[in-house]
Amino acid sequence: MAASDENKKIEQMNKSLIDNTNQRLTTNDGVFITDNNNTLKAGDRGPSLLEDFIYQDKMAHFDRERIPERVVHARGSGAHGVFEATADMSAYTRAAFLKKGTKTPLFVRFSTVAGFKGSTDLARDVRGFSVKFYTEEGNYDLVGNNIPVFFVQDAMNFPDLVHAVKPEPNNEMPQAASAHDTFWDFVSLMPESAHMVMWAMSDRAIPRSLRMMEGFGVHTFKFVNAAGKGTFVKFHWKPKLGVHQVAWNEAQKISGFDADFHRRDLWENIDKGNFPQWDLGVQLIPEEDEFRYSFDILDPTKLIPEEVVPVQIIGTMTLNRNPENFFAETEQIAFDPGRLVPGIDFSNDPLLQGRVFSYADTQNYRLGGPNFHELPINRSVNGKHNNQKDGTGRQDILKGNVSYFPNSLGGGCPYHAMLKGEKGFESHQEKIDASKVRKRSTSFADHFTQARLFFNSQSPEEQEHIVNAYSFELSKVKSVDIRTRELAILHQIDPKLAAKVGSNIGLTPPTSLDELTLQFVRHNHPDYPIEPKDPEVKKSKALSMKQDPSKGTIKTRKVAFLVADGVDMNKVEHYKKALEAEGAEAVLIAPNVGKLKYKQGGSEEIQFSFLTEASVCYDAFYTPEGDSVNILSDLPEYFQFINEGFRHCKALAFAKGAESLVEASYIKGKDAGLILESDGQSVTDFIKAMKQHRIWERESARKVPS
């Protein structure tokens, strides 16, 4: 390129640069915007209005920002399954798939939110948990996350949130991470994010497996029964295997060793017949109780504590089949919270109302046109019959010369269900009498009570992890002003939490929000701060991941048997049989793949070696006795396994004769997770320790980094 041509190109590019400094907000057509935080509603708690061209202008552009991968939730894994309804819900909903005994095919897609399609599975992030039910009344999509609340209250702020957490636009760094200035700049100016950020900084954001995380519908929906009576409902997915996490240090190492860790875990377990299961639970709130609580049930940054409204189990989901083709199924499946069936309806949650437009719009764009529902993975089981025609990607062939309604040439078909005494989808009849406004309800103005509830509900170890997570993330933030603003938010939640994080990053937390933050908050709530109502509960057991070991299970857990030539076959078989009886999997790991020679003679083909495996990919470790101990004692990779396993608070068992390996390691002191046969302990004690998931006493007593 000649110098003159290069200069012309630079000049041409400079003309396209936009500097927003000292500029007023506008639409893409240059119309000045008075309020960029609230969608247009019928009353401050009413439904959003279709005529909101400012919201549509913003969201339609946002939905088209990435091709071909999803704007958010790009990194995903999926599986086929079935849902069986186990409770009679006819008093609350006429949804056919929720009739007791009904079995409904489905497809689930799990995902991270912030990262690109090729990012790691183990990022600290929210996980998408979306289920498409192929019901006899059409497709129903329950589009949720593994966290029951969200960052923002109104859909107008959703593009801003995603822009903030995505890699920064000037250098496209960092990938799949919130530990950078733009994310914390945004949330430190949006106290409504405080509750969700607390969840994201907890262990919920780094699950052990997709099979071991909860799912939530996030929003408040409505059940509608045959008589037209509505009941507010919150959806919960409860994993049969329990809710478990990895340590942050562990997650970082897994990302380097196996970025597909969650995807591989899901695929391999379904392939082995270890079908993951979740119970579907609901929290039901009568319409007359809509204003009963200290929080607003339409606020997506709030949850309903299970102690206040118990979760009723109404069915079970089983994932039993992997996709045949990742692109055709997992990538092309199109979820949309607006895909409802008779008996389920929306509430006036302003974030949910906005998602109804956004998801359909982005699928139209991402999948190339209006016929994405004709792709096999998106087709309903009962077909479709309407007068829509043509468009990109059309696969269905409409017979005859009629493509309109009403008509007589086609016999009036397809006909309205009511013409033959049948019922189709009917929106819940809700009386609305309100002014058109861009406002937010005062009942949405308490941003810290539930964040405090979540923090107070955690075990001491989990609280320490939250401190560490905030400290790590804010240490990555270059702006001291942003760090300070976030510490002020933490102080409103819990002064001790703020002080600990502040000490770790060298700052003293302010006791009040700064003027810039207050300016943004008061735009939505002019009378802020308000006096919050007394909460119904101050602690909720359901919010902690730490579980009663007596109720634990080690099903599908992977136990590394660390072996070498000369290992005692009887010891290997004894432990292997006991662990497999509990549903765990024993994996022999040796210095090399190939033949492993046993002490008693004979051999076994080994598929995994210290070179190809990493301790972070296993849940517990066993070292059998035999001549193998001498070989392992000279193997640095072996000690890396047990030292790291100890650091990550996992159970380790050593047979008689293997104690010398413990003495040569960094393992110091005895605890419930260190099983020594020379002390009279056995595989039973090993299993009991594994059921705790983590040996928490080790972390607190020995300050093992999380």
Rounded to the nearest 5°, which phi and psi values hold at 412? 75, 15
* Closest by Cα among 114, 130, 138, 144 to 78: 130
Tell whether the torsion through CA atoms of 86, 92, 93 and 94 is positive or negative.
Answer: positive
* 3 state DSSP class of 168: strand
First-to-last C-alpha distance (Å) of the chain: 53
Is the pLDDT at 189 greater than 70? The verdict is yes
Beta carbons within 10 angstroms of residue 383's beta carbon: 8
Do the Cβ atoms of 300 and 352 come closer than 8 Å?
Answer: yes
Do the Cβ atoms of 558 and 587 come closer than 8 Å?
Answer: yes
Distance of CA 276 to the CA centre of its chain: 16
Q: Write the CB contacts of 199 (distance below 8 Å, at least 6 apart in sequence).
A: 147, 149, 205, 454
For domain 41-378, the CATH superfamily is Catalase core domain (2.40.180.10)
pLDDT tens per residue, range 116-131:
999 999 999 999 999 9
Quote the pLDDT of residue 12: 47
Residues spanned by CATH 1.20.1370.20 within the chain? 442-543
Residues spanned by CATH 2.40.180.10 within the chain? 41-378
- Flag the least confident range among 87-96, 249-258, 556-565, 689-698: 689-698
Q: Annotated catalytic residue: which of 37, 38, 73, 373?
A: 73
Beta bridge partners of 435: none
Structural element, H or E, at residue 462: helix 460-475
Average pLDDT of 651-660? 95
* 3 state DSSP class of 205: helix
Specify whether 428 is catalytic.
no
Q: Tell me the pLDDT band of 22, cut-offs 50, 70 and 90.
A: confident
Q: What is the DSSP string of 57-117?
A: HHHHHHHTSSSSS-SSS-SEEEEEEEEEE-S--TTT---GGGSTT-EEEEEEEEEESSS-T
Is the pLDDT at 502 greater than 80? The verdict is yes
CA–CA separation, 614 vs 252, rounded Å?
A: 12
Residues spanned by CATH 3.40.50.880 within the chain? 549-702
CA–CA separation, 531 vs 529, rounded Å?
A: 7
CA–CA separation, 299 vs 160, rounded Å?
A: 19
Average of per-residue pLDDT values in the chain? 92
Average pLDDT of 349-361? 94
CA–CA separation, 186 vs 494, rounded Å?
A: 21
Q: Annotated catalytic residue: which of 37, 145, 348, 371?
A: 145
Please give the structure tokens belonging to residue 403: 């493509």
CA–CA separation, 206 vs 466, rounded Å?
A: 12
CA–CA separation, 41 vs 404, rounded Å?
A: 32
State the number of CA atoms in the 13 A half-sphere of 566 facing the CB: 9
Structural element, H or E, at residue 637: helix 636-647
CA–CA separation, 119 vs 110, rounded Å?
A: 14
Specify whether 163 is catalytic.
no
Distance of CA 15 to the CA centre of its chain: 41
Structural element, H or E, at residue 16: helix 3-16
Quote the pLDDT of residue 289: 97
* 3 state DSSP class of 674: strand
Quote the pLDDT of residue 334: 94
Quote the pLDDT of residue 1: 43
Quote the pLDDT of residue 171: 94
Apex CA 308: angle with CA 463 and CA 293, to 5°? Answer: 100
Query: Is 549-702 in CATH node 3.40.50.880?
Result: yes
pLDDT tens per residue, range 371-399:
888 888 999 888 888 888 888 888 888 88
Is the pLDDT at 213 greater than 60? The verdict is yes
Please give the structure tokens belonging to residue 644: 């790291």
- 3-state SS of the chain: helix, strand, coil percent to 5? 35, 15, 50
Q: Write the CB contacts of 524 (distance below 8 Å, at least 6 apart in sequence).
A: 37, 38, 439, 440, 444, 445
CA–CA separation, 148 vs 219, rounded Å?
A: 8
Do the Cβ atoms of 370 and 388 come closer than 8 Å?
Answer: yes
Q: Are strands 608-609 and 585-590 parallel, antiparallel or unpaired?
A: parallel
Q: Write the CB contacts of 636 (distance below 8 Å, at least 6 apart in sequence).
A: none
Average pLDDT of 604-615? 96
CATH number of 442-543: 1.20.1370.20
pLDDT tens per residue, range 509-540:
999 999 999 999 999 999 999 999 999 999 99
Tell whether the torsion through CA atoms of 290, 292, 296 and 301 is positive or negative.
Answer: negative
